[in-house]
């Protein structure tokens, strides 16, 4: 028994001792060559610079590919796919110990996953910027039967023709935390994220802004899936048809402590569109959204009945909620948002430039959304109140 313990300890120590750091370009001129030379447990440390490489395949190895952070906090290691395939491909059983960290991943171009393609794998992607990637499906990342962990990443200006400008998941349940999705787009559905076929993702503390869908779900589309969204901000996204913020069909995701504000739909459901689905909405604010047809805040089809609790659905145009919903208590559904945040004229949970513009458009009127001192006129005192609170995030 004692000899077995000693032997196991020896191999564990030997494994640690054999792990090494491989430097690019000092040890190998390319990242691909460094991957080929690596073993499980190795760290490939890539110096600042632009590396024109694509189809980088870790071949199932548990390795970390680590970029450089500059003195000003920006990412210095840029991997450019040169529009010639996915930048990274994980399709050999990689698990959480295979990691990409602090990298700029850009200009990938592939039928699936322009930036990163995952098939049957669970890699860790941390602190990365994915930008300018294109995939026929899944511009930034495409997940196929995969459960990656994606944290502290930025998805900027990625695009797809069909599903998921930022991320597309099929029967995959990634953990996505502390990420930002900006100006991603798709010609069809899910400008930021598209989830389908039991892709029960956990999406926490993420921000979606200025994403676009040519059809439905500018920020997120959930299809036949039960995703969990917690502490997310979905603001200023646009869908040509329905679900300016989120489009849910045949699934029952949960929304907890989320803000869905200032989104726009060319047809129905400016904030949220529900079809054959009853997503649970708790502690959320759905405000100042717009739909050209109906259901400015929430559009709910006859086969849907989302339960709401402790939530505000307010200041949406043309109406707050169209269709069925279950009132589970402590909700406010009103044309004017509760006056619990002075300066927030638009009711989107922020005191920002949109409130300044709103106030100026209401100048001289008795608009209750902008008359912060309740004196009956929107005037200089109200603009001073707003400016004194500029930048506030309302609770």
Cα–Cα distances in angstroms (integers) from residue 179 to residues 22, 88, 90, 175, 303, in the given order: 29, 19, 21, 11, 33
**pTM of the shown model:** 0.86
Encode burial over 230-263: b for 16+ CB neighbours within 10 A, e otherwise: bbbbbbbbbbbbbbbbbbbbebbbebbbbbbbbb
pLDDT for position 350: 79
Least Cα distance to 239 among 255, 262, 263 occurs for 263
pLDDT for position 254: 98
Contact 94/120 with Cβ under 8 angstroms?
A: no
The pLDDT of residue 7 is above 80: no
The pLDDT of residue 226 is above 50: yes
The pLDDT of residue 1 is above 60: no
Segment 88-92 mean pLDDT: 98
pLDDT for position 346: 80
Average pLDDT of the chain, as a whole number: 92
User: How far apart are the C-alpha atoms of 64 and 44, rounded to whole Å?
Assistant: 6
Contact 51/83 with Cβ under 8 angstroms?
A: no
Contact 86/114 with Cβ under 8 angstroms?
A: yes
Q: DSSP H helical segments within the chain, as ranges?
A: 2-18, 31-37, 353-361, 380-388
The pLDDT of residue 67 is above 70: yes
Long-range contacts, 95-98 (Cβ 8 Å, 24+): 95/62, 95/121, 95/122, 95/123, 96/122, 96/123, 96/124, 96/149, 97/40, 97/62, 97/124, 98/58, 98/61, 98/62, 98/63, 98/64, 98/123, 98/124
Segment 282-300 mean pLDDT: 97
User: How far apart are the C-alpha atoms of 63 and 76, rounded to whole Å?
Assistant: 20
pLDDT for position 339: 63
pLDDT for position 11: 44
Q: What is the DSSP letter of 309?
A: E
**CA end-to-end span of the chain, whole Å?**
59
Taking the CA atoms of 225, 229, 232 and 233 in sequence, report the sign of the dihedral they define: positive
Q: State pLDDT tens for residues 314-335.
A: 999 999 999 999 999 999 999 9
Contact 43/18 with Cβ under 8 angstroms?
A: no
Q: State pLDDT tens for residues 334-391.
A: 998 876 677 788 877 778 888 888 888 888 887 767 887 778 788 888 888 788 777 7
Q: What are phi and psi of 238, to 5 degrees?
A: -135, 130
pLDDT for position 359: 86
User: How far apart are the C-alpha atoms of 354 and 361, rounded to whole Å?
Assistant: 11
**From the CB of residue 39, how many other CB atoms can be counted at a distance below 10 Å?**
13
Burial label for 59, CB within 10 Å (0-12, 13-18, 19+), is middle
Contact 361/338 with Cβ under 8 angstroms?
A: no
Q: State pLDDT tens for residues 111-159.
A: 999 999 999 999 999 999 999 999 999 999 999 999 999 999 999 999 9
């Amino acid at each position: 028994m004692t000899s077995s313990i000693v032997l196991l300890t020896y191999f564990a120590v030997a494994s640690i001792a054999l792990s090494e750091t491989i430097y690019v370009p000092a040890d190998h001129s390319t990242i691909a060559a460094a991957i080929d030379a690596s073993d499980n447990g190795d760290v490939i440390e890539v110096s600042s610079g632009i590396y024109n490489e694509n189809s980088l395949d870790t071949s199932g190895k548990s390795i970390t590919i680590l970029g450089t952070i500059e003195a000003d906090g920006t990412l210095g290691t840029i991997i450019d796919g040169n529009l010639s395939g996915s930048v990274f491909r994980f399709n050999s059983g990689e698990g959480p110990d295979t990691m990409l960290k602090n990298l700029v991943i850009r200009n990938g171009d592939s039928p699936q996953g322009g930036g990163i393609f995952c098939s049957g794998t669970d890699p860790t992607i941390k602190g990365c910027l994915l930008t300018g990637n294109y995939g026929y499906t899944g511009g930034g990342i495409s997940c196929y039967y995969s459960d990656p962990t994606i944290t502290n990443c930025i998805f900027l200006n990625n695009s797809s023709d069909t599903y998921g400008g930022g991320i597309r998941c099929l029967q995959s349940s990634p953990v996505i935390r502390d990420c930002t999705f900006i100006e991603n787009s798709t010609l069809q559905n899910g400008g930021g994220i598209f989830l389908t076929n039991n892709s029960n993702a956990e999406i926490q503390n993420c921000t979606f802004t200025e994403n676009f869908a040519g059809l439905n779900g500018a920020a997120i589309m959930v299809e036949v899936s039960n995703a969990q969204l917690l502490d997310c901000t979905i603001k200023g996204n646009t869908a040509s048809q329905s679900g300016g913020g989120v489009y849910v069909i045949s699934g029952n995701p949960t929304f907890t402590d989320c803000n869905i504000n200032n989104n726009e739909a060319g047809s129905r459901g400016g904030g949220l569109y529900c079809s054959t689905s009853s997503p649970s909405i708790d502690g959320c604010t759905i405000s100042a959204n717009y739909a050209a047809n109906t259901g400015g805040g929430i559009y709910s089809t006859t086969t849907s009945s989302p339960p709401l609790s402790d939530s505000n659905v307010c200041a949406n145009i043309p109406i707050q909620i169209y269709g069925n919903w279950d009132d589970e208590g402590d909700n406010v559904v009103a044309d004017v948002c509760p006056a619990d945040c002075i300066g927030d004229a638009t009711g989107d949970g922020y005191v920002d430039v949109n409130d300044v513009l709103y106030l100026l458009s209401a100048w001289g009127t008795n608009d209750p959304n902008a008359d912060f001192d309740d004196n009956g006129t929107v005037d200089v005192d109200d603009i001073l109140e707003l400016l004194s609170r500029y930048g506030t995030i309302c609770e």
